[in-house]
Chains A and B, each alone.
Chain A
């Protein structure tokens, strides 16, 4: 597609439930990132995929968080046993290969509210 596509755009879930957030990167982009932004805060890095390399998971806050990227394209971020502190907007971004000058483009985000 023309831009990074994320779904759902909004999700309200009960505490303890699992949620899945989907990201479809820009066609041809081999790098894909997940960031989290809590209300009024900056962007917190979660995980990064580059081609077929092992993902950089160093930003995942707990083992309740996991992400997959199938076929080098679509990615799914899964949050198990959601907690209220997981409420945030989850931003996906993509770029061309790992070269320092490549621009990263963001999707519109998935707004997660845990009640």
Chain B
């Protein structure tokens, strides 16, 4: 069974700090990796996708992928209270379809 693991948190960081969120996955055939943000009571929204080893930056967000070690991380620079949410890691295998397998999410709290 394909698994995606995340620390449930909460991860608490002060405003302006870097928040580091980590995710590991079990299926070596995974090809696509996504980070979704979910505010309480709302649906998940895509914030980053990454497909190749290395770093991908988008504004204050950086996704990092290491396929050999089977982990993907999300860094949030200059964290803001509005970043407080649950961050869901999602992984999609390369061949059989378009289904995403989600981790349980990490709850991030950014304190002013």
Q: How large is the interface on A (under 10, 10 to 19, 20 to 34, 35 or more residues)?
A: 20 to 34
> From B36, which residue of chain A is reached at the shortest CB distance?
A106
Against A, the Cβ 8 Å flags (1 = close, 0 = not) of B75-112 are 00000000000001010101001111111110000000
The answer to whether A43 and B102 touch across the interface, beta carbons within 8 angstroms, is: yes
Tell me if B46 is interfacial: C-beta within 8 Å of chain A.
yes
Q: Complex: how many Å from CA A99 to CA B51?
A: 12
Choose from B49, B102, B103 the contact partner of A101 (Cβ within 8 Å). Answer: B49
The answer to whether B102 and A56 touch across the interface, beta carbons within 8 angstroms, is: no
Q: Complex: how many Å from CA A56 to CA B46?
A: 23
CB distance from B29 to the nearest CB of A (A): 11
**Contacts from B to A (Cβ < 8 Å):** 6, 31-32, 34, 42-46, 49, 51, 88, 90, 92, 94, 97-105
A-B contact pairs, 8 of them (CB 8 A): A42-B6, A43-B100, A45-B100, A45-B101, A99-B98, A102-B98, A104-B46, A108-B42
Nearest 4 interchain pairs by C-beta: A42-B104, A43-B102, A106-B43, A98-B98
